[in-house]
Amino acid sequence: MSWSIQQKLRFLIRERRIYKKDLARYLGISPQTMTDICAGKSSITLPHLRGLIRFFGIRADWWLDDDREAPEAWDHLKHHDARDLAELDLLGLLGPGWRGRLRKIQSFLIEHRDLWEKTFGPPSPHEALLLGFPDREPRAGKDSYPPEDPSAEKASPA
């Protein structure tokens, strides 16, 4: 069977439980255009494809490969940078409390770093930054994980 980009898009929307309106907002198109794309009534443009690659973190060659419906592990991009996380946060796609959940995951991974390295090998500098490993402290600003929360109130010195 041949899998179109529209079929793959519908598959990912269902699998990840994403609202079409949120994906439309991310791509900068109307919800109706997103519905038309999913139904095969509107074509996917190159800017749409670039946005889908960024949003889902799946390489272009998977989107263009008619023989596969579901992406494999090697189809996923290596990482998202802090700007992508900030964009997803602004769109409300990460859900409330995602920064706290990420910090909990980082704490767990720090405690079990030996198991991580035994399973996956030593982390790259980017992975160490994302995972929060202490020998690679995140820098504040655009490269920090999670990105600084602009709505968080800063405590004023007493």
pTM of the complete model = 0.50
Length of the chain equals: 158
Query: Are 99 and 149 spatial neighbours (Cβ–Cβ below 8 Å)?
Result: yes
pLDDT at 74: 79
pLDDT in tens, the chain (158 residues): 789 999 999 999 998 888 999 999 989 999 999 999 999 999 999 999 999 988 888 888 899 998 988 888 778 876 556 666 777 777 777 777 777 887 788 888 888 888 878 877 787 776 777 777 765 444 444 444 454 555 554 444 44
Query: Are 38 and 63 spatial neighbours (Cβ–Cβ below 8 Å)?
Result: no
Domains and CATH numbers, the chain: 5-72 (1.10.260.40), 78-150 (no CATH)
pLDDT at 68: 87
What is the DSSP code string of 39-64? HTSSPPPHHHHHHHHHHHTB-HHHHH
